Structure 1
Amino acid sequence: MGYEVIIVGAGPAGIFTALEAIKREPNKKILLVEAGRRIDKRSCPKEKTNKCVSCKPYCHITTGFSGAGAFSDGKLSLNYEVGGDLPELIGGNLVQEYIDYADKIYLEFGADEKVEGVENPEAVKEIRRKAIEGNLKLVDCPIRHLGTEKAQEIYLKLQNHLLDLGVEIRFDTLAKDLIIENNKITGVLLTDSITKSKDETVKGDCVVVATGRKGADWLKDMCLEHNINHKAGTVDIGVRVELRNEVMEMVNEVLYESKLIGYPGPFKDKVRTFCQNPGGFVSQENYDNNMAIVNGHSYKDKKSNNTNLAILSSHNFEEPFNKPIEYGQKVAELVNMLGNGSILVQRYGDILAGKRTWQKELDRSNVKHTLPDAVAGDLTSAMPYRTMTNIINFIESLDVVVPGFASEETLLYGPEIKFYSNKVVIDENFETNVSGLYCLGDSSGWTRGLMMASAMGVMMGEKLTK
């Protein structure tokens, strides 16, 4: 059985590729392959157990229709300056056009019409003034907040819409290998993701790989095995910070999400805030080899007393080292080791004092942590010195913008690592050096986040129907 288009990965990039392609050519034969379940069959046992049970064969938070986006806070960044490097490839103005287009689709499927961060320009100016005082840059970025529960509703509608339009979606199906002959893609080797025992070669005129951060490591293996041009990208290593809403009140009300960038001394590496969740909850994602990574989300209706956000330090490597993904994995393994397989949490004051945090100290804190099974400990015993120095100095700068941010009771969870550090070399049509093979979304290294991946998917769907 042959297909005109095979899409590997049903995250935002894959979803919007299929959506735009089938809209333009209703009879187009499209196969969408997803390693996990339908979105309406995805659930995390931790909601009942309050403890991660390391689901096998995959984590339901990271794998399944809509990828990690289903359980994220569902923030859509509406500015092309936020969300990856795609503007470097095709230009910022063009990317903005497709972000606006993708945003209309989200609205059509039920996204909240309210846009955060645009209602109080004078207050934004004051936050920017403080950022400058702290040697930070505030990036203006309107945000459309879906909320974790609403994001699942929207992606369920998108899933069912694609099925109604005739897109074939194979769930619990893993792409094992790419079939390449004479430097041209001819299909994909698939297997059952549960038993790994039912291999099948499926032919396709072209293949779009959009496997998300979860599939970035697999895509890098494919690049090495099939001589697909790629290069080492940036690896972002950091922590998830949690503090009381009262401390973040002004920024939360004015911007909802503050996107701040700095280059603190002595190393002058890029450090940034990412994925801010007012009234949110710290969460855990599991990757291959039982690797636990911290994240955060927020609901539309259910709120906590805390705000959480990531602080990420960017690291770029030169020759002879070219394995940034493996580097990030090793850091995660060390932190997980100290937490006995769980996420570590430490008070900021204890980091400055050179001591670990004890559970009794967490229990008497003003900041009640929202990740129930996080283990109190010592991040500095596992995180690289350069990374921790960057984070500490960045937090001191943030304290100028948000007084109280550098409180002794501010909580730091680790590790938070973004696995999009393998960058596939593609042309303006997103095609690799292998004819008929396209790469997009976070796994390609060109996007970071829901909206930019969605916009890239729309462009891909359009290109496949010209």
Structure 2
Amino acid sequence: MKQNFSLQLSPEEAYDSENFRKAVLKKAGLAPDLPNAFARQTRRSIDARGRKVLVNVEAELFINENPGSLLDHLPEYHHVSQQDPILIVGAGPAGLFAALRAIELGVKPIVIERGKDVRARRRDLAAINKEGIVNPDSNYCFGEGGAGTYSDGKLYTRSKKRGDIRRIMEILVAHGATEEILVDAHPHIGTNKLPVLVAKLRETILEHGGEILFDTRVEDLILENDEIKGVITQQGDKIKGLGVILATGHSARDIFQLLDRRKVLIEAKPFALGVRIEHSQTLIDRIQYHCEIDRGPYLPASAYSLVHQTEYKGKQRGVFSFCMCPGGFIVPAATAPGELVVNGMSPSRRDSKFANSGMVVSVELEDLGKYHQFGALSAMHFQAEIEQKAWAAGGKTQTAPAQRMVDFVNRKVSSSLLDTSYQPGLVSVEMREVLPDFIAERMAMAFKAFGQKMKGYFTNDAQLIGVESRTSSPVRIPRIKETFEHPQIKRLYPCGEGAGYAGGIVSAAMDGERCAEMLIAAYCKK
């Protein structure tokens, strides 16, 4: 027998398995020691609006019945080694899920990745953290799994029209993610678990006859009569296929430059730019959970989401938190020497003593001024110049410029900085020397407003660390809405974050699947 329940529980009941079982049996009017009774959660969300934190739970109770798995359905993968190939440029979430969907549909994918596999990639991450050495092909953005591999692994998305979110989640669970991601309202995997999961996705692709080429950078396109036939690598190798899915991520500037040089239609795109804000996790917990000391053993590290509309010189722009990482770390995410970029990540337990979040300002095309001379690459050049200024301000290493929050608002260089999770270290600067005025002034306005929304958030016990500039692609590679194909180049399918059509792991994965479906339906023999 199976019964369904909706409950409001304390954290002790929601996050302790035995307490949870007793709460469900009590709700069902049954004895707490009833044998052959199994309770599980199917949905869980925290409600911290009141003084007492509650957890809303959807639950199932099974009595004298095997509950089975939470997985409803999994794809059936074919062996495709002898099939005609499609090419997928980029092994991030979009590229990997495009490859898996191609195999499911009976087509061979060849995935071309400029970076290394997850294990080899670690050495390059250590080099940028400890020595400030940036490998342009292997870093926090490039390599197997893309930028998502070394991130918080957030899986929440509002992009429900792009595809089947549940399907993506179940594929992730089948490859090693915990079933908790099917339950939590804001699921995440954690940077410590993502590399193993990504390696298992690779194994599935290879086991079924797909190919993955690491350390292989695309340097040119094979174009004939406005149709793409394949790509040319840095070794001069020509790789051909029935079509090309371009899933290179938001930081592949050389690909944007290649498309522009080959006169393939691309467009400048609005994005957002700012800093990382770092507080102690205990402070954020006290604000969000209304606790005086700490959050206790049951509640997870708390997160926040903030947005404020600002007006500066007659123009309205939003300032908003981005990719908040509770219990996390700030990492150096540059993709070339001579630039400084920061990003956030969290382990699965989110047990760092720091909380960090991107705090960014919307950058519209009308804000770019002199950069319009670069045409479709105008926003990219604007982004790159600020990253170069941050690198110079930090001492021309990966040491990041930083400033305490109240000091920033008051235009005061901080006499000292706080402890930080950012391994290469910080140097105290006036962040207005790095950030454009229209961004700095808007952030200063927003910080005061955020202090009103979250009492205690606006404090000199928090610091700005810059710059957070890779929020999304500064370039859009257009495609036809109905077919996903590029409007000018046949058989070319712009995909994922780098093309401007996704904003995270799940939305990129869904976009990858859709691009594979569209290409295969149009050009692969049935």
Whether these two folds match at TM > 0.5 is yes
- Equivalent residues in 2 for 1:447-458, closer than 5 Å: 447-458=502-513
**Counterpart position of 2:484:** 430
Query: Would you say the 8 A contact 2:281–2:301 is kept in 1?
Result: no
Cα distance per residue 1:162-188 (max 9 Å; x no partner): 111111111100000111111000110
Distance 1:45 1:435, change over 3 A: closer
Alignment partner of 1:271 is 2:271? no
**Counterpart position of 1:114:** 180
Counterpart code for 1:214:
S
Gaps of 5+ in 2: 1-81, 290-298, 522-526
Alignment partner of 1:245 is 2:281? yes
Cα distance per residue 1:99-147 (max 9 Å; x no partner): 23212211222223335996xxxxxxxxxxxxxxxxxxxxxxx321100
Alignment partner of 1:409 is 2:461? yes
Distance 1:291 1:327, change over 3 A: same
Partners in 1 of 2:183 and 2:254 — Cα distance?
A: 37
Distance 1:425 1:378, change over 3 A: same
Alignment partner of 1:230 is 2:296? no
Cα distance per residue 1:226-279 (max 9 Å; x no partner): 332222111311000000112211548689543333212233212221111111
**Counterpart position of 1:421:** 474
Counterpart code for 1:441:
G
Give the one of 213, 230, 251 matched to 1:214: 251
SS in 2 for 1:303: coil
CA-based RMSD of the aligned residues comes to 2.4
SS in 2 for 1:188: strand
Partners in 2 of 1:437 and 1:46 — Cα distance?
A: 32
**Counterpart position of 1:43:** 122
Query: Would you say the 8 A contact 1:235–1:328 is kept in 2?
Result: no
SS in 2 for 1:76: coil
Comparing 48-57 with 373-382, which one deviates more in the overlay? 48-57
Distance 1:48 1:21, change over 3 A: closer
**Counterpart position of 2:242:** 205
SS in 1 for 2:520: coil
Give the one of 296, 308, 314 matched to 1:262: 308
Distance 1:273 1:214, change over 3 A: same
Query: Would you say the 8 A contact 2:339–2:390 is kept in 1?
Result: no
**Counterpart position of 1:354:** 411
Partners in 2 of 1:52 and 1:268 — Cα distance?
A: 41
Distance 1:3 1:116, change over 3 A: closer
Comparing 159-168 with 36-45, which one deviates more in the overlay? 36-45
Query: Would you say the 8 A contact 2:334–2:341 is kept in 1?
Result: yes
**Counterpart position of 1:16:** 97
**Counterpart position of 2:420:** 369
Counterpart code for 1:422:
V
Query: Would you say the 8 A contact 1:280–1:299 is kept in 2?
Result: yes
**Counterpart position of 1:78:** 157
Query: Would you say the 8 A contact 2:331–2:422 is kept in 1?
Result: yes
Aligned residue pairs total 415
Alignment partner of 1:399 is 2:399? no
SS in 1 for 2:274: strand
Gaps of 5+ in 1: 81-92, 119-141, 192-197
Alignment partner of 1:4 is 2:89? no
Cα distance per residue 1:14-57 (max 9 Å; x no partner): 000001110121xx232110011112222046659952431435
- Equivalent residues in 2 for 1:271-290, closer than 5 Å: 271-290=319-338
SS in 1 for 2:365: coil
Query: Would you say the 8 A contact 1:54–1:290 is kept in 2?
Result: no
Comparing 217-226 with 270-279, which one deviates more in the overlay? 217-226
Partners in 1 of 2:479 and 2:302 — Cα distance?
A: 34
SS in 2 for 1:291: coil
Partners in 1 of 2:360 and 2:508 — Cα distance?
A: 20
Comparing 219-228 with 445-454, which one deviates more in the overlay? 219-228
- Equivalent residues in 2 for 1:162-173, closer than 5 Å: 162-173=205-216
SS in 2 for 1:258: coil
Partners in 2 of 1:451 and 1:423 — Cα distance?
A: 19
Comparing 287-296 with 157-166, which one deviates more in the overlay? 287-296
- Equivalent residues in 2 for 1:129-148, closer than 5 Å: 142-148=185-191
Structure 1 length normalisation: TM-score? 0.83
Counterpart code for 1:234:
P
Give the one of 84, 92, 109 matched to 1:30: 109
Alignment partner of 1:338 is 2:396? no
Instruction: Report the structure, 1 or 2, having the larger helix content.
Output: 1
**Counterpart position of 1:136:** none
**Counterpart position of 1:137:** none
- Percent identity, aligned pairs only, is 25
Cα distance per residue 1:355-396 (max 9 Å; x no partner): 2224xx22xx4xx21113222222111211110111122222
**Counterpart position of 2:230:** 187
Query: Would you say the 8 A contact 1:113–1:144 is kept in 2?
Result: no
**Counterpart position of 1:94:** 161
Distance 1:232 1:49, change over 3 A: closer
**Counterpart position of 1:134:** none
Comparing 248-257 with 206-215, which one deviates more in the overlay? 248-257
Partners in 1 of 2:136 and 2:432 — Cα distance?
A: 32
Query: Would you say the 8 A contact 1:116–1:255 is kept in 2?
Result: no
Partners in 1 of 2:128 and 2:388 — Cα distance?
A: 24
